[in-house]
Amino acid sequence: MDIEALAADPWFETMAEERREALLRETRVELLAAGARIYGLGDPPNGLWAVLEGQVRLKGLSVNGAELLALIVRPGTWFGELSTLDGLPRPHEATAFGSARLLHVPMPAFARAAALKPELYRDLGLLVCAHQRTALRFIANSIGQSIRVRLALALLRASVAGNGSVIIRQDELAAIVGIARQTLNRHLKTFEREGIVAVAYARIRILDLAGLRGIATE
């Protein structure tokens, strides 16, 4: 099984080797077409997932029913850990963005691995903590930052390795930055005039990476 993408994941890399092996023995590879739903908001848990190739979008709903893009999951990243740990319904939906190759550990499979290596439950708890800390850092860093800085940071996070094109709808990007679509459009036009980005349908091409990084540190 090709799991090279997982080598860069801090959670998986620092897990004890015998527990990594116990987990991997229970995995299966799944190939998903663009737009395929991995699980939906409120669905019962269907196990732990990791992205090997492609992207997965995690989306939730705001209090007024608007769709919010919570996270873009890239190769090497595990997700779905919260419901796998507590057995409660999914707090968001997960869909493949473009074709994707995923590693899947179904609920019964994870239970088998954890029966052999109970410490896997602690490992899963640590993954929940890591993602929670990431979310809290994002919230803390966003407080007091200008829209311009938040947009630059969002574009850098959404780009592949901080370079190239960002494949994202403007309503999704607006949800990440926490602004209205019209406000986003005005700031993107400013970035275009400055030669930072070029905006096309569902794609934003970064023209000046150094300039974008400079804005992100303003």
Identify whether residues 20 and 80 lie together within a single domain: yes
CATH at 76: 2.60.120.10
pLDDT confidence of 18, banded at 50, 70, 90? very high
Same domain, 194 and 112: no
pLDDT at 141 over 80: no
Domain boundary among 92, 125, 141: 141
pTM value? Answer: 0.77
Please check whether residue 206 is in contact with residue 165, taking contact to mean a CB–CB distance below 8 angstroms: yes
Q: Are residues 112 and 133 in the same domain?
A: yes
Residue 35 CB contacts under 8 Å (≥ 6 apart), including other chains: 95, 96, 97
Q: How far apart are CA 85 and CA 82, in angstroms?
A: 5
Query: Do 89 and 172 fall into the same domain?
Result: no
Instruction: Report the pLDDT value the prediction gives residue 203, as an integer from 0 to 100.
Output: 84
Report the CATH number at residue 212.
1.10.10.10
Number of domains in the chain: 2
Provide the domain limits for residue 32: 4-141
Last residue of a domain, one of 96, 119, 141: 141
pLDDT greater than 70 at residue 136: yes
> Per mean pLDDT, which range of 33-37, 55-59, 125-129 is the poorest?
55-59
**pLDDT, average across residues 142-167:** 78
Domain final residue, candidates 141, 159, 192: 141
Dihedral of alpha carbons 149, 152, 158, 161, sign: negative
Instruction: Verify that 104 and 158 share a domain, yes or no.
Output: no
